[in-house]
């Protein structure tokens, strides 16, 4: 058999698969990315730590904290802690009538404060030698305080008792402050009395004023023209009403189209007529009436008038002895007895020829043109008003008694409240929906004051429930008579309302808001100077 010759060629090497090769390359790239990202993280962490540390150092510098104070063995901090504790013991010692011990503590506190002050002045930390005596003496006094049972529990108990006493005292003071504030708010300044008397004298002594009034009778057509801008104010305050008219006229683009319907009482009727006859307001038409001339305004038609004439109601508002003083004094303001305050619910009867009117309170200042209010779409509602439910205490449950079934069954307690003081009334819709009768219904139900306690807003919330169109808040800015108001809101506001006790014509008015009102008063007017009104 023949043998196969020997093959002297090199053995062929197996080639590495391309899949394996690309896998190894991918792993290498991933390892490179991971290593690089870790390094960058370490760098970023160190950078952020450096930034934080720098910021921390700046904070320490701003707080005037030194390294010595941060040390756990800081003598300065030890002295400061002793001073803080000693001050608390001084209060308790005085409360316990231990005046001698309180004096000793106070003296030692002063000694320690002198040491701290000298160290701060020379910008060097306190040494053990110079502070040893002060720390030891203070420690002895603090130990003595412990022996007198001036411990934490005693301190807390006594402070709680003190807080309770202070709360009771504060409640009494707040009640007195509320009463005195209410009295001050109800007071009519002597200057306003003087103006009324002098105007009345001027009216009867100056035939020219009556002639001017007769000349104005020729503009009766304006008083009924529905194409004009009709405003109404119900007030017995001549100067406040003048500010409303003057500020509206000054900011009106077409003052000749503005008509003001003023209603006052018989006492101020002549004075009001005289003032608006002797002063011009950029051509604004002004009509003055007194509510005593309204024949329809009688007790048989107006429930509130019958209630206001009731002796028990008058006693409730004037004396406040019917419920053992449970009702706050602000609910007993006699102004709620004035028919001028309730006349806003009879605007269609007061102005039978008008179709739309803007109602303004006498404690407002106008600083924008209000003609845009007459083109606002009320969406078939009767009342256009700015809502006040941004805060929970301005919802319906704040004003009404929800324990009464009539209120609970008919009204949502979380419904938004709204503000009287600047309201657009569609009198056509008012008459169509017979809104005045709705008001009469609720007023008769509240004869015993169980549905609401005070004022015209609660019955307004009931009467116009579901009939109120929210207006843009910039139309009516409230609170200038009792709280701080955002300056941006004041700047943008069309009508600024000084609701609250601090009216701008009173001494208790808020000083920072008075200029907004006073710039519409001509203090150089001879009548105001004669009455020393400033």
Identify the CATH number of the domain in which residue 348 sits.
Answer: 3.90.550.10
**Based on the domain organization, do 212 and 278 belong to the same domain?**
yes
Same domain as 457, residue 404:
yes
Determine, yes or no, domain membership for 258.
yes
174 within some domain: no
Distance, in Å, from the CA atom of 319 to the CA atom of 83, rounded to the nearest integer, reads 55
Per the structure, the complete domain to which residue 287 belongs is given by 190-530
Pair 120, 216 in one domain: no
How many structural domains does the chain have? 2
Query: What residue ranges of the chain have pLDDT lower than 70?
Result: 1-21, 23-24, 26, 29-30, 32, 34-73, 149-155, 158, 174-188, 212-218, 309-337, 391-393
Q: Are residues 426 and 488 in the same domain?
A: yes
Report strand pairing: 356-360 vs 229-234. Answer: parallel
Same domain? 406 vs 276: yes
Gap between the Cα atoms of 471 and 463, Å rounded? 18
Distance CA 260, CA 149 (A): 74
- DSSP code, position 65: -
On whether the CB atoms of residues 115 and 135 are closer than 8 A, the answer is no
pLDDT computed for residue 412 by the predictor:
93
> What whole-number distance in Å separates Cα of residue 460 and Cα of residue 439?
8
Amino acid 92: pLDDT: 80
Residue pLDDT, tens place only, 271-282: 999 999 999 899
Give me the pLDDT at residue 95, please.
75
Helix (H, G, I), strand (E, B), or coil: what is residue 361? Answer: coil
Residue at 41 is within a domain: no
Whether the Cβ atoms of residue 86 and residue 103 lie closer than 8 Å to each other = no
Asked whether residue 368 is domain-assigned, the answer is yes
Helix (H), strand (E) counts: the chain: 23, 10
199: in domain: yes
| 207 and 306 assigned to the same domain | yes
* Same domain, yes or no: 279 and 399: yes
In this structure, is the dihedral angle defined by the CA atoms of residues 469, 471, 477 and 483, taken in order, positive or negative? Answer: positive
If asked whether residues 205 and 76 sit together in one domain, one would say no
Domain boundary among 150, 171, 206: 150
Calculate the alpha carbon distances from 341 to 13, 420, 477, 482, 534 in Å. 112, 11, 21, 20, 27
The reply to whether 103 falls in a domain is: yes
Specify if 214 maps to a domain: yes
What's residue 250's pLDDT?
Answer: 97
Judge if 423 and 479 occupy the same domain: yes
Cα 139 from Cα 127, distance rounded (Å): 17
- Say whether both 133 and 274 belong to one domain: no
For residue 504, what pLDDT is reported?
A: 93
Q: Model's pTM, two decimal places? A: 0.67
Let me know if residue 47 belongs to a domain: no
pLDDT at 13: 47
Q: Are residues 367 and 503 in the same domain?
A: yes
CA distance 109 to 501: 47
pLDDT of residue 63: 42
Last residue within a domain, chosen from 126, 150, 174: 150
Q: What backbone phi and psi angles, to 5 degrees, belong to 520?
A: -100, 10
* Residues sharing a CB contact under 8 Å with residue 5, sequence separation 6 or more, in sequence order: none
The pLDDT score that the predictor gives to residue 9 is 45
Boundary residue ending a domain (119, 150, 181): 150
């Amino acid at each position: 058999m023949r043998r196969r010759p020997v093959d002297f060629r090199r053995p062929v090497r197996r080639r590495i698969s391309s899949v394996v090769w690309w896998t190894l390359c991918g792993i290498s790239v991933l390892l490179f990315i991971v290593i690089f990202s870790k390094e960058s993280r370490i760098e970023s962490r160190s950078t952020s730590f450096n930034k934080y540390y720098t910021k921390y150092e700046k904070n320490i510098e701003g707080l005037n904290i030194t390294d010595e104070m941060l040390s756990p063995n800081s003598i300065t901090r030890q002295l400061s802690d002793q001073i803080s504790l000693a001050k608390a013991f001084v209060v308790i010692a005085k409360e316990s009538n231990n005046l001698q011990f309180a004096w000793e503590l106070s003296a030692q506190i002063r000694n320690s404060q002198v040491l701290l002050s000298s160290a701060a002045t020379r910008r060097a930390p306190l040494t053990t030698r110079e502070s040893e005596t002060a720390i030891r003496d203070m420690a002895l006094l603090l130990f003595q305080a412990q022996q007198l049972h001036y411990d934490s529990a005693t301190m807390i108990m006594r402070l709680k008792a003190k807080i309770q006493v202070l709360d009771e005292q504060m409640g009494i003071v707040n009640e007195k402050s509320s009463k005195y504030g209410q009295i001050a708010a109800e007071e009519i300044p002597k200057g306003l009395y003087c103006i009324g008397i002098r105007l009345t004298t001027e009216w009867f002594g100056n035939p020219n004023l009556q002639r001017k009034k007769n000349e104005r009778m020729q503009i009766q057509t304006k008083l009924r023209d529905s194409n004009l801008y009709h405003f109404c104010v119900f007030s017995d305050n001549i100067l406040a009403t003048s500010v409303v008219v003057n500020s509206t006229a000054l900011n009106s683009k077409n003052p000749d189209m503005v008509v003001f319907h003023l209603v006052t009482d018989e006492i101020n009727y002549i004075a009001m007529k005289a003032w608006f006859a002797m002063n011009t307001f950029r051509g604004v038409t002004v009509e003055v009436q007194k509510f005593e001339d309204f024949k329809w305004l009688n007790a048989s038609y107006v429930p509130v008038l019958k209630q206001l004439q009731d002796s028990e109601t008058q006693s409730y508002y004037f004396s406040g002895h019917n419920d053992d003083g449970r009702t706050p004094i602000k609910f007993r303001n006699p102004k709620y007895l004035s028919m001028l305050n309730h006349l806003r619910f009879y605007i269609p009867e007061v102005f039978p020829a008008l179709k739309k009117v803007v109602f303004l309170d006498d404690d407002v200042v106008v600083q924008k043109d209000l003609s845009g209010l007459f083109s606002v779409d009320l969406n078939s509602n009767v009342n256009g008003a700015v809502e006040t439910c941004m805060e929970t205490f301005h919802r319906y449950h704040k004003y009404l008694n929800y324990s009464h079934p009539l209120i609970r069954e008919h009204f949502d307690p979380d419904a938004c409240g709204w503000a009287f003081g600047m309201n657009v009334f569609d009198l056509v819709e008012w008459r169509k929906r017979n809104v005045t009768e709705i008001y009469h219904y609720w007023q008769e139900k509240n004869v015993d004051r169980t549905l609401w306690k005070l004022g015209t807003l609660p019955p307004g919330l009931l009467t116009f429930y579901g009939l109120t169109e929210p207006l843009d808040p910039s139309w009516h800015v409230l609170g200038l008579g009792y709280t701080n108001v955002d300056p941006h809101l004041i700047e943008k506001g069309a009508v600024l309302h000084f609701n609250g006790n601090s009216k701008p014509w009173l001494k208790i008015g808020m000083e920072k808001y008075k200029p907004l009102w006073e710039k519409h008063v001509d203090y150089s007017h001879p009548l105001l100077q004669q009455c020393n009104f400033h």
